[in-house]
Structures are given as structure tokens and as C-alpha cells.
């Protein structure tokens, strides 16, 4: 079949119009996401023999760092210190978690659901994640995840799974010159998890600060707030670096669609994540009062 120039031009215009409508729909949806509250449900699990069955090797010198802009599940909201900034919500993936727990080849390390107002990439905080067996002040699973919105929902993971050296091992010392030359430290230093500020008697913040995240205001880093993740009287000693024999790292960037279950794969770790838009609850309308008629 041969098309005339007019038919080709008409077809191209139709295709361009359809593409423009699709782009407008995507941008409209993204614009609706900004400042919207979502429920985020996340499951992180480990494979017992994942690295052994994969060609991927444990990284020799992984880069393990925490973001300077962060929030955790103990961070209070700015408007009410008794209310968490990341509000807990009911789980909906319990059946999948139960299936993982029944399989001896998997170990569930983390499962939480929380509500969060999503921000743009520059304002989005890193949500601190930890789970699994605890060794000293560290957990086997640590790191953070960041959810943001631009033209789409976006998830960035920076998680690590540590296999610890015996507690008799010491933290790496600076390289020293011996008879045999430079001696390198043994083990991988896993960074301490940042903590909220503890306020002293002079009302002075004495450690790192979380982001204050709530529905009414955008996430802003506050370097002088006085919020603590626990009462001052119960504040635990500051965590320190700890040595790991080896560390598996899951650093992934992923676009998400609201309401869909997403799976992030890794030889050692796996992540299930579902982001669900929270529909605002309509306030009930006041009931009509009876009208009395007088004769």
C-alpha cells in the first residue's frame, strides 16, 4: 500500500498528538504526587547462600556512608513530639513475608509500613533502615532508602549486609611502618548509624540531627533543633564503627508506579516495596438539624 504525502503527514501529527497527551498525563500525575502522602511498605530479606551461587563476589572495599539528610522511625514530627514523623501503617504483605519465613533459604531482616509525604529529590530525606540479628550497637542489615518524586516515583537504596568479625577484633588503626613495611588494617569498617540530638542541661544539641518531616511543612534540615529519638535519661551510648569480615551492598535506583508491588533483586539481598497513595478522608458532613414549625 502506498501512502500519499498528506496521509503520512496526518499520521505523524496523530502520533505526535498522542505522545504529547501521554507526556502531559505523566507530568500531571507527577505534579499530583508532589506533597502527597503515601504508604510505603518494604520487606528486605537475605538469601542464605546467595553469593555462593552467584558469580558476583563480595566487594573488597565497599563505600558505606550515611546521608547527612536523614529521618528514622523514632524521629518526632515537628508539630507534636509525641507523634512520629514517619507514621506507622498496617502491613498488607504479611502473606508474602510468611512465605519467605517458611523457606529455610531466606531470612526476613526488615518489614515495615509507614506514611510519608514525598518530596522532590533535593528535599527528600534518607530513611534509616536496620534489621536482622544485632551485634553490639549494629544490626546485620543497615543503611537507608530514599523515596522522592519528579516525573515519577523514585526509590534509591543504599543498604548493606554485614558478616561480622569476632568481637576480639579491633578497629583498623592507621597504617604503621614495621620491619615488613606497611601493615594494612584487617576487616571492613562499618559506619555508626547517625543518631538524633541529645539535649544537655544547657539545652544544647550534642550530636547529629534528623530531618523533621511532617505533612504541613516541607522536609528541611534543622541543625539546631532539640528533638531526640528517646528521652535524655534513657539515651544509649553513641554507636561506633565495627569491623565486618565482608559486606554485601545493594545500591539501586528504581522507578516505581503507585499501587504496584516492585521487586529489587540481588545475589544476597532482596527487596519488596509497594507505594500506595493515601486518599484523604473526607470529613463527615454535619447532620441536618430538625426544623420546628410553630402554628
**pLDDT tier at 77, thresholds 50, 70, 90:** confident
Q: How far is CA 232 from CA 49, 57, 72, 228, 242, in A?
A: 42, 43, 17, 7, 25
Average of per-residue pLDDT across 165-169:
67
Say if residue 185's pLDDT is above 90: no
| Pair 271, 291: CB distance under 8 Å | no
- Grade residue 252 by pLDDT with cuts at 50, 70 and 90: very high
| Region of poorest pLDDT, from 43-47, 141-145, 173-177, 263-267 | 173-177
Written as nine digits, the cell of 134 is 544485632
Structural element, H or E, at residue 273: strand 269-277
User: Which of 169-173, 221-225, 261-265 shows the highest mean pLDDT?
Assistant: 261-265
Task: Give 93's pLDDT tier (boundaries 50, 70, 90).
Answer: very high
Residue pair 118/33 in contact (Cβ under 8 Å)? The answer is: yes
Q: pTM higher than 0.85, yes or no? A: no
Amino acid at each position: 500500500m502506498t501512502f500519499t504525502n498528506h496521509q503520512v503527514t496526518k499520521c505523524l501529527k496523530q502520533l505526535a498528538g498522542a505522545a504529547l497527551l501521554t507526556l502531559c498525563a505523566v507530568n500531571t500525575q507527577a505534579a499530583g504526587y508532589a506533597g502527597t502522602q503515601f504508604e510505603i511498605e518494604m520487606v528486605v530479606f537475605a538469601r542464605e547462600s546467595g553469593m555462593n551461587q552467584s558469580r558476583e563476589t563480595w566487594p573488597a572495599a565497599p563505600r558505606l556512608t550515611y546521608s547527612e539528610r536523614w529521618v528514622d522511625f523514632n524521629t518526632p514530627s515537628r508539630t507534636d513530639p509525641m507523634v512520629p514523623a514517619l507514621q506507622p501503617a498496617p502491613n498488607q504483605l504479611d502473606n508474602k513475608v510468611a512465605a519467605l519465613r517458611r523457606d529455610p533459604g531466606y531470612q526476613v531482616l526488615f518489614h515495615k509500613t509507614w506514611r510519608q509525604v514525598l518530596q522532590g529529590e533535593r528535599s527528600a530525606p534518607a530513611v534509616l533502615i536496620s534489621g536482622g540479628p544485632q551485634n553490639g550497637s549494629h544490626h546485620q542489615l543497615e543503611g537507608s532508602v530514599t523515596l522522592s518524586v519528579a516525573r515519577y516515583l523514585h526509590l534509591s537504596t543504599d543498604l548493606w549486609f554485614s558478616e561480622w568479625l569476632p568481637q576480639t577484633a579491633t578497629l583498623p588503626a592507621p597504617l604503621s611502618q614495621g620491619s615488613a613495611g606497611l601493615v594494612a588494617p584487617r576487616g571492613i569498617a562499618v559506619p555508626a548509624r547517625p543518631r538524633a540530638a541529645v539535649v544537655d542541661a544547657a539545652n544544647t544539641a550534642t550530636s547529629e540531627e534528623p530531618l523533621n518531616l511532617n505533612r504541613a511543612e516541607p522536609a528541611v534540615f534543622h541543625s539546631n533543633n532539640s528533638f531526640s529519638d528517646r528521652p535524655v535519661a534513657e539515651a544509649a551510648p553513641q554507636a561506633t564503627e565495627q569491623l565486618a569480615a565482608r559486606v554485601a551492598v545493594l545500591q539501586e535506583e528504581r522507578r516505581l508506579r503507585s499501587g504496584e508491588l516492585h521487586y529489587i533483586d540481588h545475589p544476597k539481598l532482596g527487596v519488596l516495596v509497594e507505594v500506595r497513595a493515601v486518599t484523604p478522608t473526607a470529613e463527615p458532613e454535619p447532620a441536618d438539624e430538625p426544623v420546628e414549625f410553630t402554628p
